[in-house]
């Protein structure tokens, strides 16, 4: 199972991370955020300090706790799966 084991760098445009298969990947943030622009709370991701609150979850995903608010006012984490990072990230 692929997992993120280390977040190396977070910038406004990308996140660099290390996976447990020994690869280091860069994932572009802008395409993800544009795809989810209808999510309530996604505007927070324009703030670099907010982005730097990213954590690694129990399944090896990168996530931001309680970042998105649903239409019923529930708070949800916003995450990027390690599989998505592995297949869509650029090797660095």
Q: What is the per-residue pLDDT across 23-63, written as a single tens digit (0 to 9) for each?
A: 999 999 999 999 999 999 999 999 999 999 999 999 999 99
Q: What is the CATH number of the domain that holds 49?
A: 3.30.2020
Q: What is the per-residue pLDDT across 2-32, written as a single tens digit (0 to 9) for each?
A: 999 999 999 999 999 999 999 999 999 999 9
Write the secondary structure of the chain as one string of H (helix), E (strand) and C (coil).
CCCEEEEEEECCCEEEEEECCCCEEEEECHHHHHHCCCCECHHHHHCHHHHCCCEECCCCCEEEEEEEECCCCCEEEEEECHHHHHHHCEEC
Report how many domains make up the chain: 1
Q: Give the per-residue pLDDT at 3.
A: 98
Q: Which domain holds residue 52?
A: 4-91
């Amino acid at each position: 199972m692929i997992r993120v084991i280390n977040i190396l760098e977070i910038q406004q445009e990308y996140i660099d991370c290390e996976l447990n298969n020994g690869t280091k990947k860069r994932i572009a943030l802008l395409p993800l955020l544009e795809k989810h622009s209808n999510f309530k709370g996604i505007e927070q991701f324009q703030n670099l300090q907010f982005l730097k609150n990213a954590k690694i979850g129990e399944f090896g995903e990168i996530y931001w706790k309680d970042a998105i608010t649903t239409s019923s006012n529930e708070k949800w984490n916003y995450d990027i799966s390690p599989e998505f990072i592995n297949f869509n990230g650029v090797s660095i």
